[in-house]
Amino acid sequence: DPTSLGLGLDEEVKVTKQRRPNPKLDEARLLSQPGIPKLRRTAKQKLRFKGKGHEFQDAERLLNFYQLWLDDLFPRAKFADGLAIIEKLGHTKRIQTMRKEWIEEEKPKPFYDRTNTE
Amino acid sequence: EVTSVGQDVQVIDPDVRMHVYSLVTALGGFNGADADRYMLGDDALSCLRDIRRWLKLYDQRNNRMDVVRCLGEANLVMGDILPILSIWWNNGQNSKHLTRVALACLELLVPLTWPAEYHSQMTANHHRHTPYIQQIQVQYKRGVLRYGGSNLLRAVIRIALPSMAIPRSERESRDEGILKLMLYFLRNVAIITTNERLAAEGDEEETSRSATINAFQDQDAFALILTMCSNVAEDFNQQDIVLLEILFHIIKGVNVDKLFLNEDERKAQRSDELSQLLKKENQVKREYAKNAPTRHGRFGTMIWVKRDEHKVSTVSGQNILRDDQASLQKMDESKKWKRPGRTRRNKDETVQYNDFNTPVHLSLLATKNLRTFVEEFLDSGFNPLFTHVRKAIEREAERVSAINARQFFYTVGWFLEAERARRARQAIQRKRDGKNTKDVEPDSFGLVASVLNQETFISLNRGMQSSLDNKEWDDLTAQMRCFTQILLTVQEMTFSPLEEDQEIADNIQNRIFYEETTHDRVLSIVRGYKDQGFGYLDAATELSHVFLRMLERYSKTNADLQIRSKRRAKKRKKGEAAQSAGQEDGEGEAENEEDVNSEDEDLIDSAQVSKERAFDFKRFAAKFCNQSCVNTFVEFTSFYRELNSEQLKRAHRYFYRIAFKQEMTTLLFRLDIISLFHRMIKGPGAMESSKPIYKEWEELVRQILRRLTKKIDQRPALITELLFSKMNSTIYYLEFGHERQTMSTA
């Protein structure tokens, strides 16, 4: 009797199908290459403002730039929703240190600063 | 246990139903031969008393609503009580027996019309019966306001008149009870409204606020209220709270400005309104036409949006051909996913009858009637009533319930606004009549003086603080409105031609602005907005707007304004530090000793360190310059399509202050804010460009956007920072391009 051997041949094998996890817009995604690094890389070439007299077109250009970037990064979210998610992520420790770093990068060096102002 | 719904389902115990029905039947009825005459049953009075006993001993004692519902189904009010009252009014007032029957009817009417509210301690039984009772009460109200040709409100007032005529010292408790019954009946009539969640049966018009006001005017209920209010201190000191409640339910949600337009202005405004609405509709149509397809629906247009890295997106529809903006917008709109976790808290049902944030529209006649009443009330009843009510609330008298404080503050605020509107109208009237303003004796503000005293300020301040601490947002909203109106009234007083008024106003302002806690409270209210609803948002932004402007003006004219600030924690730390160091100077030693010796350390502590210092408006205004305040105003501005010019102006001034007075434009450099500003001006769904406020906004947004593009060129870090709320540590650098030079030592 095969069942008495305890091989468990007759027991039904349960196949639990793992649900595919939904993609999330989280810190990792935001800091990955198509995330903020790309934003910083492309902004310089993409964002050219016309300046005085074209304020509203400039704003449109700016908003479109971010919308397309966000659509690449996290296609399922609407622009406003995506912005809200990112804004919330901005309160986390990791992103905050990164933000500080990015700002530090562009700051003039203290020494240089002093000579510059005088 | 599942019961099939059908005729067999009993929601009420059949025995109870049987008893109640037999009582209602025995009460009387319409005579067969004389079908439109109501005949009183032989033992009507006992029947009425028995029914009352049922209500008391079955419903109230067991906390059920079965008898109330049963009486509703038995048609007691429409079929018996109202006809009996009508008989009494028409030809029974001299009969002692009939008068007693009428009084017994009133005794039943009050519990039957008692507002059935949702509350936290509801049983399954309550949940079952409340919707039915709310619905039937609307029918009761309709019957009361318009029963045949009878004046039933007047009849009810008549029942209580003999008790009213007796001086208070000689009144017995029975008389007081009758007065109470009559007033509570008026209150119930004022409260009952159609429930928007239940199917209406054409009752809205006949039971609306307008109908109530007109009935109150026609049947002298207003006259009664005025008499009682102006004599509240002498003759009716137990009735003050009920009177307040009646007033509250009559005026809640009524727009003061509309109330005080005169006939011509109102007509002009109405026709203006119509043409404006038509214009607005036209604009909507035009905007649609701009984007509407020019071909039939199956024309099948599709375009590619070329993107980086040789990628394309496809968008379909003809309207996208117009420009890039449209296609990008369409790309966004076609997304289905919604960000999770933003569930709206469902609206609290418990506020249904005490909600003052929903605007109420009055008919022309009702407006006129209410205005007459309001003016008479301001002239005679305002001071006596509100002084008395405030004292009762402070004393926590037995008749005061928790809701009354909210009603008090809202009503006071509303009437202060009404008084200002009336004065404004009088001023215009005088100018129009061509009288020299010097000929007319200017009115003093004595008519509303009772709420401009120190006692009111103290109780208002205390109330605001405790509502804020306990998160009672509806209370806080009422208090904020009241405070705002007090401020505005005081401001008007400073412009009064009477020197005495000016002096008083100066004095009041000094007292209001003296406490630093008040300043901080206004600030924390604005900062603390989160999901409290539009009413709170509106009140909070208005308060901060008015408060800041008045404080600015006052501190300018009174350069040496002193404020009292309490710094407890700091002093204490100092004390501790001194103690640990072991070398105190004489003063410190004394302080410490007192600290240690005192039984109530905190009390002494706070008393000790409250000190006066010169007020610096700039520093105070800078406190409003932070992300959470900005968020509150952004939230408020996002309703721009529903806001009126005054509200839009308020938001405009705030952002102007942030950007150009405080030089903190960086706070506004966040993509959602930029996107909102851009949408307000350029659409889709932009503000109406014909309004004057549009021009101001356009200019402001233009300036902000210009700064934005400039700043992005100067500081590329903004590219990433645009996504986030700014951090305190970097905001100064982002704004000015260098670190703060002097660290503040304070």
How much is the pLDDT for B224? Answer: 94
**What is the total residue count of chain B?**
746
Contact yes or no for A66 and B738 at CB 8 A = no
Contact yes or no for A56 and B738 at CB 8 A = no
Please name every residue paired with B563 in a beta bridge, in sequence order, or none if there are none: B613
CB-defined contacts A:B, below 8 A: 125
Residues ≥6 apart with Cβ < 8 Å to B347: none
Please name every residue paired with B298 in a beta bridge, in sequence order, or none if there are none: none
What secondary structure, in 3-state letters, does B283-307 show? Answer: HHHHHHHHHCCCCCCCCCCEEEEEC
- In one-letter notation, the amino acid at residue B7 is Q
Peptide bond into A2 cis (omega under 30): no
In angstroms, the separation between the Cα of residue B685 and the nearest Cα of chain A is 15
How much is the pLDDT for B599? Answer: 46
How much is the pLDDT for B215? Answer: 92
* ipTM of predicted complex: 0.83
Contact yes or no for B337 and A90 at CB 8 A = no
Name which of B155, B163, B165 is nearest B219 in CA terms: B155
Alpha-carbon span B328 to B279, nearest angstrom: 29
Of A39, A51, A107, which is closest to B719 when you measure between CB atoms? A39
Half-sphere exposure of B48 (CA within 13 A, CB side): 26
Interface test with A, best of B339, B682, B711, B738 (most A CBs within 10 A): B339
Taking chain B (746 residues) in consecutive chunks of 10 residues, what is each chunk's mean pLDDT?
Answer: 58 88 90 80 92 92 91 91 90 86 94 88 88 90 84 91 90 92 95 76 78 92 93 88 95 90 71 80 84 82 83 83 81 85 59 84 89 93 93 90 92 94 85 64 78 92 93 92 94 87 89 88 92 91 94 85 70 50 43 45 53 82 90 94 92 92 87 94 83 92 92 87 85 80 54
Decide: B383 and B231 in contact? Cβ < 8 Å. no
Which pairs with CB-CB distance under 8 Å and at least 24 residues apart come from B441-446?
B442/B496, B442/B497, B442/B498, B444/B496, B444/B498, B444/B500, B444/B501, B445/B489, B445/B492, B445/B493, B445/B496, B445/B501, B445/B504
What DSSP letter does each residue of B525-584 carry, written as one string? HHHT-SS--HHHHHHHHHHHHHHHHHHHHHHHH-TT-EEEE--HHHHHHHHHHHHHHT--
Name which of B69, B218, B42, B204 is nearest B130 in CA terms: B69
Nearest residue on chain B to A103, alpha-carbon basis: B717
Burial call B431-448: b when 16+ CB within 10 Å, e when fewer: eeeeeeeeeeeeeebebb
Decide: B85 and B156 in contact? Cβ < 8 Å. yes
Of A52, A63, A117, which is closest to B706 when you measure between CB atoms? A52
How much is the pLDDT for B665? Answer: 87
How much is the pLDDT for B5? Answer: 55
C-alpha Rg value of chain A to the nearest Å: 25
Residues ≥6 apart with Cβ < 8 Å to A73: A25, A29, A30, A34, A35, A38, A82
Decide: B97 and B44 in contact? Cβ < 8 Å. no
Contacts of residue B333 in chain A, CB cutoff 8 Å? 78
Query: pLDDT digit of tens for each residue in chain A (118 aa)?
Result: 555 666 667 777 788 888 888 888 888 888 888 888 888 888 888 788 887 788 899 999 899 999 999 998 998 999 999 999 999 999 999 999 998 888 888 777 655 544 444 4
How much is the pLDDT for B591? Answer: 44
Q: How many helices (H) and strands (E) does chain B have?
A: 34, 6
Contact yes or no for B672 and A83 at CB 8 A = yes
Contact yes or no for A81 and B325 at CB 8 A = no
Of B328, B338, B705, which is closest to A55 when you measure between CB atoms? B705
Contacts of residue A117 in chain B, CB cutoff 8 Å? 738
